[in-house]
């Protein structure tokens, strides 16, 4: 039996992460798909996220997401991600994050990497995978974007780089100037709207990426034209809207908690029967899209996806000879 040797430690910056993702977003989607399938097969451990909240900062939080992902990945780790919405008023990003990956033979961590880009990437890749699975093709006559911040930008880049045919975009943001900046360089017809409801009108794909803490979209008639809604911010839709659609998430136990729209709907009706299944169910063919109803994909965001994308980025960075090795990181411990 080979002697166990602790792995060397490496630090990977956001610049290295961004370069690898920019080079191959379609492969990111493939990685996220494989992670979902491994999780669906039970080859993962994904405890509930823990939320650190602050009594003097009710809109802010730091979340820990520990996980293990088997299959082709065989990696453990934890993402530690902060969300401080007021940061944007000072010109700095709302979210900051670190991902630590651990070797599954020794338990030693082998990389500490900037992870706000990893987190946004796995969210966007998951969204685009869910959209393609529910729409049935990479085509939307019109996309409605509610919220035009970082996540919306990543979703747009994934739609673009995975070959979606998009006829036009409607943008809504509480800060109209943000929507105008977002739409300035888009290569499709853009309409800035002043009501969130207008971002649903005639849009067959709607993407919600806000920082809302409570439902603010209440009219189920917004779904009468049977769009696919990517509810990435989780708390925008009232139970009435949720109940008007076929609902899909990434993991039901994870998503129906922490006062998400799905959780509020469960509290109203007393069960989870309104959730049709998971993206894994769709990918495996156990659940099919109901063509007679709108579909809402509301992924809670699984730690295993961060591990998958993080491990993929790490391997590419190492192969390129990038990142910062820290050979004496554990010298005092071994």
pLDDT tens-digit series, residues 17-57: 999 999 999 999 999 999 999 999 999 999 988 889 999 99
Mean pLDDT for the chain overall: 94
Equal CATH topology for 9-118+303-326 and 122-297: no
Q: How many CA atoms lie within 13 A of 175 on its CB side?
A: 10
Query: Which parts of 204-284 are beta strand (E)?
Result: 205-208, 228-231, 245-249, 275-278
Average pLDDT over residues 307-317: 97
- pLDDT of 292 above 70: yes
Average pLDDT over residues 92-116: 94
User: What is the rounded distance in angstroms from the CA atom of residue 179 to the CA atom of residue 195?
Assistant: 12
Both tokens assigned to 327: 């050979």
Who has greater pLDDT, 211 or 145? 145
- pLDDT of 58 above 80: yes
- pLDDT of 1 above 60: no
H/E segment holding residue 56 = none
Task: Name the CATH code of domain 122-297 (choices 3.20.20.220, 3.30.750.24, 3.40.50.720, 3.30.460.10).
Answer: 3.40.50.720
User: Of the ranges 41-45, 88-92, 144-148, 250-254, which one carries the lowest mean pLDDT score?
Assistant: 88-92
Tokens 């050979």 identify what position? Answer: 327
Class of domain 9-118+303-326: alpha beta
Q: Could you tell me the sign of the dihedral formed by the alpha carbons of 314, 77, 81, 43, in that order?
A: positive
The pTM is what? 0.92
């Amino acid at each position: 039996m080979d002697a166990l040797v602790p792995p060397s430690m490496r630090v990977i910056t956001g610049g290295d992460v961004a370069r690898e993702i920019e080079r191959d977003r379609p492969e990111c989607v493939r990685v996220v798909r494989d992670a979902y399938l491994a999780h669906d097969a039970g080859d993962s451990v994904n405890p509930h996220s823990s939320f650190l909240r602050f009594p003097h900062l009710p809109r802010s939080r730091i979340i820990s997401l520990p996980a293990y992902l088997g299959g082709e990945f065989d990696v453990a780790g934890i993402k530690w991600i902060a969300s401080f919405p007021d940061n944007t008023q000072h010109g700095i990003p709302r979210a900051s994050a670190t991902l630590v990956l651990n070797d599954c033979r020794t338990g030693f961590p082998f990389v500490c990497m900037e992870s706000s880009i990893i987190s946004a990437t796995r969210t966007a890749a998951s969204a685009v995978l869910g959209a393609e699975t529910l729409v049935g093709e990479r085509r939307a006559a019109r996309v409605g974007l509610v919220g035009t911040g970082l996540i919306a930008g990543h979703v747009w880049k994934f739609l673009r780089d995975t070959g979606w045919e998009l006829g036009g975009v409607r943008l809504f943001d509480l800060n109209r100037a943000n929507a105008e900046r977002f739409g300035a360089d888009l290569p499709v017809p853009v309409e800035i709207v002043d009501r969130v409801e207008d971002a649903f009108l005639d849009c067959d794909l709607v993407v919600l990426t806000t920082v809302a803490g409570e439902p603010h979209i209440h009219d189920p008639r917004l779904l009468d034209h049977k769009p696919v809604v990517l509810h990435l911010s989780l708390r925008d839709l009232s139970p009435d809207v949720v109940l008007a659609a076929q609902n899909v998430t990434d993991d039901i136990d994870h998503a129906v908690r922490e006062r998400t729209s799905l959780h509020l709907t469960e509290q109203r009706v007393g069960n989870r029967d309104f959730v049709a299944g998971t993206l894994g169910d769709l990918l495996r063919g156990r659940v099919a899209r109901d063509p007679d109803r709108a579909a809402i994909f509301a992924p809670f965001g699984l730690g295993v996806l961060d591990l998958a994308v993080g491990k993929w980025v790490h391997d590419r960075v190492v192969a390129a000879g990038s990142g910062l090795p820290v050979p004496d990181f554990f010298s005092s411990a071994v």
